[in-house]
Structure 1
Amino acid sequence: MNAATDLETSSSRFVTVDGIRIHYNEVGEGTPLVLIHGSGPGASGWANFSRNMGPLSKSYRAICVDLPGFGKSDMKPAGVPIPGWWAEKMGQFLDALGIEKAHFIGNSLGGVISLKLALTRPEKVGRMVLMGTGGSLPLFTPWPTEGIKAILGYYEGTGPSIDRLRAFAQQFVYDPSQLTDELLEKRLKASLDPRIVANPPMRFTPGMVLEEVWRDAGLARLPHETLMIWGREDRVLPLDSAFVLLKQIPRARLLVMPQCGHWAQWEHADEFNATVTGFFG
């Protein structure tokens, strides 16, 4: 095994939250920093943040979680509100670990979950980095984007395949040549977990509430220092999605990374790690 695989294995943990077994990786000491992944096929905490956990653990108690419905965690019940249910579980996750307050990094779905937690339990959240975050709408780009369609349609029709996964992944990065066969095979294997195939976490079911967080008047009262990081070439949640949240959140600022898609933490890992370390202080 290589060093990254060793670290992933040695840092693996489980905790039961409200009857749901949640998997997470924990590395380092100090101020808690919780990293929440996005919703793409094969997503998990470590898959999203493998290039960040080691460097960030030098300054923080870095915790990347598998949301229920992803990775090694238990499944998400069908029909629960999105992102509200996940935000509730993340608050309870902190309680179960005895963490009074943590900084957050949220990627895409993880960003809107972090934002919802800040709205509902503001005392649990320190500073937030929202990276290509959900919870808003683009002002100019046609919606839904091809990237969003790829996520929502991955398990429909003929179902998962390496070609479908490759097409999805190419929507997520600026430079598709970085998508190695090893990376795609790992994501495909994770996406083929029979539990997830039977109950895809992003499948919309009758009665499900998809909360429009950008409409929440509480955004204008959020006290949290917030850094939004966006890839200029993001084709999943495009840059013009940032502007509604930037206008509403009083202490928000925006960093735009050029030659970067939806995975800023992966495509520009060194810059990302240095930037968020400086922001959290």
Structure 2
Amino acid sequence: MHYEILGCQAADAPTLVLSSGLGGSARFWAPQLPVLTEQYRVVVYDQAGTGRSPASLAEDYSIASMAGELLEMLDELDIQRCHFIGHALGGLVGLELALQRPQLLQSMVLINAWSSPNPHSERCFAIRKNLLRDSGPAAYVQAQALFLYPADWIAAHSAQLADDEAHALAHFPETDNLLRRIAALQAFDIEDRLHQIKTPTLLIANRDDMLVPWQRSQHLADRLCGARLALLDYGGHASSVSDVEPFNRELVDYLAGQARAETLTCN
């Protein structure tokens, strides 16, 4: 898979691994990189079958497959400990990492993630699959903003969205790959294994998320040991893009708190 290692390269710099949502692109994290690369070694990557990581995904492709691919990449980079940050589908990858290799993770930040299917999100993903199959990539990309961002933000950022949509169409994944990625997140269900996850976790959710109800993050916060929820009022499903400053503040403050806790533990 295509990856980039950015930011602080000091030997003792903490490592952050950032995993995007359904789009799978490292480009998603551009609004966070300026504040994260000051103190951290940051690993971003294009997930298999997306962007600069061409692949033909198997019919039985799963979130566990995605976690396995990421673990293989991190092993090649000799990354033995890291903080993980995942948005939506990327958050599911983080939960799977916490089950497959808990010793890798110092902490997790899971953004608008979930541990099992819910009827509202199922309806949204069914609509997106139908758009892709029946109307093609252009219609799929044009509709994407409706699921990701608040209406007023869409109205105020039409030029930016036009550029983003042109880029997305120019780098659109194979239809079968995207359908298999959607199927993987729809099938994800670890309710009976949540008690096994002990990684310190911050859940970030948005009250105005139109794709994943914020209560799915509350559910995770209630069931994961050592987890807490930061509930934001505005920003939709992708507040890391649409309301950057409050999102980045929650992220940076949490990571700083983890660093302080580790220092106290060492002392």
TM range (shorter): 0.7 to 0.9
Identical amino acids, percent of aligned pairs: 25
> Corresponding residue for 1:250?
225
Aligned residues: 250
User: In the aligned structure 1, how far is the partner of 2:214 from the partner of 2:130?
Assistant: 23
Report if aligned partners of 2:198, 2:225 keep a CA contact under 8 Å in 1: yes
Q: Report the TM-score, using the length of structure 1 for normalisation.
A: 0.80
Q: Aligned match of 1:267 in 242, 250, 258?
A: 242
> Displacement of 1:186 after TM fit?
3.3
User: Unaligned regions of 5+ residues in structure 1, if any?
Assistant: 1-21
- SS of residue matched to 2:137: coil
C-alpha distance after superposition, 1:109-159 (max 9, x if no partner) = 000001101111111111100001143344xx635243x234433421121
Q: 1:152 to 1:101 in 2, by over 3 A?
A: farther
C-alpha distance after superposition, 1:193-220 (max 9, x if no partner) = 47x23533333799x7964333232x21
CA RMSD between the two structures:
2.4
Q: Write the letter of the residue equivalent to 2:100.
A: T
> Corresponding residue for 2:147?
171
> Corresponding residue for 1:23?
2
C-alpha distance after superposition, 1:1-55 (max 9, x if no partner) = xxxxxxxxxxxxxxxxxxxxx1123211221101100114xx5111x11101121
> Corresponding residue for 2:41?
61
C-alpha distance after superposition, 1:165-192 (max 9, x if no partner) = 2322122111322443343333344345
Q: Report the TM-score, using the length of structure 2 for normalisation.
A: 0.84
- SS of residue matched to 2:231: strand
User: In the aligned structure 2, how far is the partner of 1:125 from the partner of 1:185?
Assistant: 36
Report if aligned partners of 1:23, 1:72 keep a CA contact under 8 Å in 2: yes
Report if aligned partners of 1:39, 1:151 keep a CA contact under 8 Å in 2: no
C-alpha distance after superposition, 1:55-104 (max 9, x if no partner) = 11012111111110111112242223420000011111111111101101
Q: 1:168 to 1:205 in 2, by over 3 A?
A: closer
User: In the aligned structure 2, how far is the partner of 1:182 from the partner of 1:88?
Assistant: 34
> Corresponding residue for 1:74?
54
User: Unaligned regions of 5+ residues in structure 2, if any?
Assistant: 257-267
Q: 1:50 to 1:136 in 2, by over 3 A?
A: same
Report if aligned partners of 1:234, 1:261 keep a CA contact under 8 Å in 2: yes
User: In the aligned structure 2, how far is the partner of 1:86 from the partner of 1:51?
Assistant: 24
Matching of residues 140-151 of structure 1 within 5 Å = 142-146=120-124, 148-151=125-128
1:89 aligns with 2:102: no
